Amino acid sequence: MSESSPVPENQNPSPPPAVEGQLSAVLPLRDIVVFPHMIVPLFVGREKSVRALEEVMGEEKQILLLTQKNAGEDDPSAEGLYRLGTLATVLQLLKLPDQTVRVLVEGKTRARVKGFSPRTDFFQALIEPIPNRPAPRRKSKRSYARSSRTSRATSSSTRSSGRNARVRRADRRPGQARDTVASHLTVKIADRQQLLETLNVVERLERVLALIEGEIGVLQVERKIRSRVKRQMEKTQREYYLNEQLKRFRRNSAKAKKPRRTR
């Protein structure tokens, strides 16, 4: 029976495979989901978030924006943050007198969190950027054409009037239009996050269109309600005016019929 060869004393066991990715500071967000190509001002007051911004300002000025699952949490844990967010560039940072910070960020690309570092002064995560993938040409054009028609339909509503210029500019760049339209929908945070996490371009377009059509339905109902209320108010005002005129006529008639005293 052959003996196994001894292991040399200076031979160390092989190290575990390295996890690929890049470290990035994390900025938790309340009540907002930032999409790629979106420029948005943020007001930051939490100590951890301010430290994260100070950390990135001396380097590449890139920070991962992750939305909180519960916007009411003042000090969320790593488990309280969604695992997919937007890697953004800090364009401007201004410290205000009340110790808060106003920061202007521009979303660049989606990124997935692979794990959080043990740092406690601010959130830091190992991330994997997700490049923007083009859609199949035929499907992309068909879905995009439908998206353009639907977004133009929403332009007649008062709710969407402030964002029409941005949407029209995005119409010329189909790759950017998907996220631009999604970022301006007045939908729940969970629906916005679902759009951000939908990596398949065609599927994302279909979800955006479904949300737009739902918003159009809500706007049409609101318009009908406003029209009905307006007609009712006009009717009430007319009735009030006629009643006042009738009262005045009766008072004048009573005065005319009242006999005058003679000396």
Residue found under tokens 């690929």: 20
User: Considering only 21-30, 102-111, 214-223, 252-261, which range has the smallest mean pLDDT?
Assistant: 252-261
Residue-level pLDDT at 83: 95
Q: Is the pLDDT of residue 257 over 50?
A: yes
Which of 219, 238, 256 terminates a domain? The answer is 219
User: Considering only 9-13, 38-42, 251-255, which range has the smallest mean pLDDT?
Assistant: 9-13
Q: Is the pLDDT of residue 261 over 90?
A: no
- The alpha carbon dihedral of 33, 36, 41, 45 has a sign of positive
**Residues 122, 141 share a domain:** no
Residue 7 lies in a domain: no
CATH number for the domain that contains residue 67: 2.30.130.40
204 vs 109: CA distance, rounded Å = 15
170 vs 167: CA distance, rounded Å = 5
Per-residue pLDDT reduced to its tens digit, 174-230? 556 777 777 777 788 898 999 899 887 788 888 888 888 877 877 788 888 888 888
**Residues 197, 150 share a domain:** yes
Which of 130, 145, 162 terminates a domain? The answer is 130
> What average pLDDT does the segment 41-68 reach?
91
**Residues 187, 119 share a domain:** no
**Residues 55, 97 share a domain:** yes
Residue 262 lies in a domain: no
161 vs 186: CA distance, rounded Å = 13
Domain count, the chain: 2
Per-residue pLDDT reduced to its tens digit, 92-127? 999 999 888 999 999 999 999 999 999 889 999 999
97 vs 127: CA distance, rounded Å = 34
CATH number for the domain that contains residue 193: 1.20.58
**Residues 48, 81 share a domain:** yes
Q: Which residue has the higher pLDDT, 152 or 254?
A: 254
Residue 9 lies in a domain: no
**Residues 32, 114 share a domain:** yes
Residue 231 lies in a domain: no
Tell me which residue of 81, 108, 109, 105 sits closest to 193, measured CA to CA: 81
236 vs 238: CA distance, rounded Å = 5
> What average pLDDT does the segment 71-77 reach?
90
Tokens representing 144 are 């995009």
Q: Is the pLDDT of residue 247 over 70?
A: yes
Domain that holds residue 80: 22-130
**Residues 111, 76 share a domain:** yes
**Residues 157, 70 share a domain:** no
**Residues 121, 169 share a domain:** no
Tell me which residue of 150, 140, 212, 211 sits closest to 176, measured CA to CA: 140
Question: For residue 164, how many C-alpha atoms fall within 13 Å in the half-sphere facing its CB?
Answer: 13
Residue-level pLDDT at 202: 81
Which of 79, 101, 130 terminates a domain? The answer is 130
> In terms of residues, how long is the chain?
263
Q: What is the pTM of this model?
A: 0.65
User: Considering only 4-8, 21-25, 93-97, 124-128, which range has the smallest mean pLDDT?
Assistant: 4-8
Residue-level pLDDT at 50: 92
Per-residue pLDDT reduced to its tens digit, 134-184? 655 555 555 555 555 555 554 544 454 444 445 445 444 555 677 777 777
**Residues 106, 195 share a domain:** no
Residue 234 lies in a domain: no
Residue-level pLDDT at 135: 56
72 vs 176: CA distance, rounded Å = 31
Residue 171 lies in a domain: yes
Residue-level pLDDT at 68: 95
Residue 162 lies in a domain: yes
Among 4-8, 70-74, 130-134, top mean pLDDT goes to 70-74
Residue 241 lies in a domain: no
**Residues 38, 113 share a domain:** yes
**Residues 66, 94 share a domain:** yes
